[in-house]
Homo-oligomer: A and B are copies of this chain.
Amino acid sequence: MTTPASALQLRSLVTDDQKVELFLDTVEVPVPGPTEVLVRVEAAPINPSDLGLLLAGADVTAAVATGTPERPVIIAPLPPAAMRAMKARVGVPMPVGNEGAGTVVAAGSSDAAQALVGKTVAAAGGSMYGQYRAVDVAFCLELPAGTAAADGASSFVNPMTALGMVETMRLEGHTALVHTAAASNLGQMLNRLCISEQIPLVSIVRKAEQEDLLRSAGASYVCNSTAPSFMDDLIAALKATGATLGFDAIGGGKLTSQILTGMEAAASADASFSRYGSAVHKQVYIYGGLDRAPTELTRNFGMAWGVGGWLLTPFLGRIGLEGIARLRARVAAELTTTFASSYTDKVTLAGALDLGALTAYARQATGSKYLILPNG
């Protein structure tokens, strides 16, 4: 296999006429530095965490397709608030894609880089929606021999996030978890992880078929937030599990508040009156923004509570290099079991800029997951 001199890369450009333009650029294939490898990217997932950079907050319903079949272009308008937030991006065509996997086709001079030649690796660090990417070996995870790139494409974001939730739980003194949008790829992963670690998990979903999916995967506590009995179901599950830490992917609306209310009801069920509520600390971290509306907290859950943002990168900083290495080794060993991902759609780079596909993955519907095959 010879490496071409140039290759395709997907770019997202905010223009000063308040639009985002998505297109395929022809870029030079980089020469790896001493500690880098050149990865021929064969698979890269579209995660919710990629969409902020890709779409820049554009109004996808008003997107139009232009360009050619080989070089499609999508143009979508930015609402004023999004434009204000993207000020620093105007005129800079940004590469996208947090993670992916592929074959190492060239390497720098260091032993660590040379050792990976010909291997299949997963990589993180951005710019993965392209045909070739030079990556420092520190950001590569060598996959077990025979692993398909598609199976290794989601080796970082979701697995490290699921592990990060469990580690955070232990670091902060909790013993059980609550998770929302819990039938997602990440939610299914967390369910398998909690089963293997014997951590009680309360999974909150919005549809009956999502309840079925999780229950058939062994989940013991699944609550449907659209059911009339939701608060009763949630309180019963929180009593049974003692969960006092939640991770919320939704963010907007009342769900975070409902979780805290349920935790307080469970904590104070057998307690005598206290005007400040129970002394049990209840925490919900918002790690996603599936609902962009404001978070509404009713504060009917005493005084011992916290809500905050949670992001993978600072968490990794908190556990340090040794902690990261430990988690990565576990991901590699359980990539097709605990940390398996599944995709409903596989598209080329051009296919990712198809208007129908874009509309679908921008919706972030649970059960729909896209994988880009940049060399497919």
A interface residues, Cβ below 8 angstroms from B = 52-53, 81, 85-89, 251-252, 257, 272-273, 275-276, 279, 286, 289, 294-300, 302-311, 313-314
Contacts and interface: CB of A to CB of B under 8 A. Distances in A.
B309 A279 contact: no
Given A273-B89, A294-B257, A309 B302 contact: yes
A299 B253 CA distance: 12
A305 B309 contact: yes
A314 B306 contact: no
Given A85-B300, A294-B296, A297-B294, A53 B308 contact: no
B314 A310 contact: no
Contacts of A311: 276, 303-304
Given A294-B296, A299-B309, A306-B307, 17 more contacts: A52-B275, A53-B275, A81-B300, A88-B273, A89-B273, A251-B299, A279-B314, A294-B297, A295-B296, A295-B299, A297-B297, A297-B307, A303-B310, A303-B314, A304-B311, A305-B308, A306-B309
What number of copies of this chain does the assembly contain? Answer: 2
A309 B298 CA distance: 12
Secondary structure at the A interface, as helix, strand, loop or mixed, is: mixed
Give the one of A88, A286, A299, A300 with max B CB within 10 A.
Answer: A299
A53 B274 CA distance: 9
Contacts of A81: 300
A48 B158 CA distance: 46
Nearest to A56: B275
A57 to B, nearest CB: 10
Nearest to A88: B273
Given A289-B299, A294-B299, A299-B286, A272 B88 contact: yes
A147 B81 CA distance: 57
B306 A306 contact: yes
Given A273-B88, A300-B85, A308 B307 contact: yes
A290 to B, nearest CB: 12
A310 to B, nearest CB: 7
Contacts of A286: 299
A308 B276 CA distance: 14
Nearest to A309: B303
Nearest to A257: B294
Nearest to A271: B88
Given A88-B273, A272-B88, A314-B279, A294 B298 contact: yes
A250 B215 CA distance: 42
A152 to B, nearest CB: 25
A260 to B, nearest CB: 10
Contacts of A85: 300
Contacts of A307: 297, 306-308
A89 B305 CA distance: 23
Contacts of A88: 272-273
Contacts of A303: 309-311, 314
A314 B304 contact: yes
